[in-house]
Amino acid sequence: MTNSENQQTMNINEENNEIKFQIRPPETMTSLAWKRFRRHPGAMVGSVVLILLILAAVFADLSPYDPEISDIANRYQAPSIEHPFGTDGLGRDLLTRTLFGSRVSMSVGLMVVAITLSIGVPIGSIAGYYGGWIDNILMRIIDATLAIPSLMFLILLSAILREADLPFVRGNSVMTIAVVLGVLSWPTVARLVRAVFLTVREMEYVKAAQALGASDVRMMLQEILPNGFGPIIVESTLGIGYAIMEESGLSFLGFGIMPPTPSWGNMLNNAQSHLLQYPWLAFFPGLMIFLTIISVNYIGDGLRDALDPYKILGKVE
């Protein structure tokens, strides 16, 4: 060290009269997961796209056009400044219908995931925690549910509920379609949660909690289930994309959301006979389905990497 450096160090010590140490607080699991997530380019791009789609759906009411009122004089107009997505066979603005349709499709996706979690998580937790004959019975129920041809069952159940006069079931409404899809989607989550419980319940800290007299409910909710939040969140994220795709498929076949309520699926159904003459009728709803599903899938990939405990505990590059 040179004389000038020694002199600067002495001056600093004389001014402060003490040495202060700064201890950097340790990073939490959440901060480490966020670091990994934001360094996943696909997940970040997907998040931005999905946020923009959600904002567009939220502010769809700002459109000057009504999604259900016909304007025959302006039918089948090509995309223009006045109608950026063009108009359909009844003269309705396609951009407005696409934005309102995103509300329906995204609502179905979220509701299906909520129904799936409310059924799959309790059943998977009970099967994985208790094992034995309880696990065998529940797993046989899950296997039987998975063996049902999903598309045929969805079409059949949709057709039945369309004609049923039940509380909260009005034709093929959003709630009806969400219930139909949720009934067939929960086994996947149940098997995932069961696998987590079978693994975690053998760990030493779980055995210690049992030895201290922790109740079964506390063991499941506080000791074991939190370790499954990562896989459950990832599966739920991907489940939104699956539900949107299934709802679009049902609506395309005529068993989903019924017109005049716009959804991406029934918009594609209305466009199938005019694909060559008026391609914009199918292009824009299809593009929205593509962007939404691929965004959700990229977010799911990012969450899977970010919430992997082995990667979080390892070196964050």
- Quick: pLDDT tens for 162-194: 666 665 555 557 777 888 788 888 888 899 889
Q: Which domain holds residue 214?
A: 35-62+98-264+281-313
Instruction: Tell me how many degrees the CA angle 272-255-123 measures, rounded to the nearest 5.
Output: 130
* Position 144 in a domain: yes
Prediction pTM value: 0.78
- Quick check: helix, strand or coil at residue 87? strand
Q: Of 59, 104, 68, which is closest to residue 88 (Cα–Cα)?
A: 68
Q: How many domains does the chain have?
A: 1
Q: Where residue 123 falls among pLDDT bands split at 50, 70, 90? A: very high
Which pLDDT belongs to residue 16? 52
Q: Alpha-carbon distance 182 to 239, whole Å?
A: 10
Give a yes or no: residue 40 inside a domain. yes
pLDDT score of 162 = 66
Higher pLDDT, 234 or 311: 234
How far, in Å, are 82, 124, 200, 207, 209 from residue 203 at the CA level? 63, 18, 5, 7, 10
Q: Is residue 7 part of a domain?
A: no
User: Which among 238, 232, 178 has a CA at the least distance from the CA of 46?
Assistant: 238
Q: Is 176 a member of any domain? A: yes
**Could you tell me which of 232, 15, 14 has the C-alpha nearest to residue 121?**
232
Written as six digits, the tokens of 237 are 């994220």
- Specify the 3-state DSSP secondary structure of 38: helix
- Helical (H) or strand (E) element with 261: none
User: Rounded to 5 degrees, what angle do the CA atoms 186, 187, 190 make?
Assistant: 90
Most confident of 104-108, 119-123, 157-161, 204-208: 119-123
Domain assignment present for residue 11? The answer is no
pLDDT band with cut points at 50, 70 and 90 for residue 23: low
Q: What percent of the chain is predicted at pLDDT more than 90?
A: 7
H helices of the chain, in order, are 3-16, 29-38, 41-58, 94-130, 132-147, 150-163, 174-200, 204-211, 216-218, 229-253, 264-271, 280-306, 309-313
In a domain, 115, yes or no: yes
Q: Provide mean pLDDT across the span 49-72.
A: 88
DSSP 262: -
pLDDT mean across residues, the chain:
80
- Which residue bears the tokens 């994309």? 241
If one counts every other C-beta atom within 10 angstroms of the C-beta of residue 183, the result is: 18
Residue predicted with more confidence, 176 or 90: 90
Residue 27 above 70 pLDDT?
no
Q: What is the pLDDT of residue 14?
A: 46
Asked if the structure places residue 91 within a domain, the reply is no
Q: Supply the Cα-derived Rg of the chain in whole angstroms.
A: 27
* CATH at 184: 1.10.3720.10
The residue ranking higher by pLDDT, 167 or 40, is 40
DSSP assignment letter at 226: G
pLDDT band at 149 (very low <50, low <70, confident <90, very high): confident
First to last CA, the chain: 34
pLDDT higher than threshold 80 for residue 28: no
Query: Is residue 260 in a domain?
Result: yes
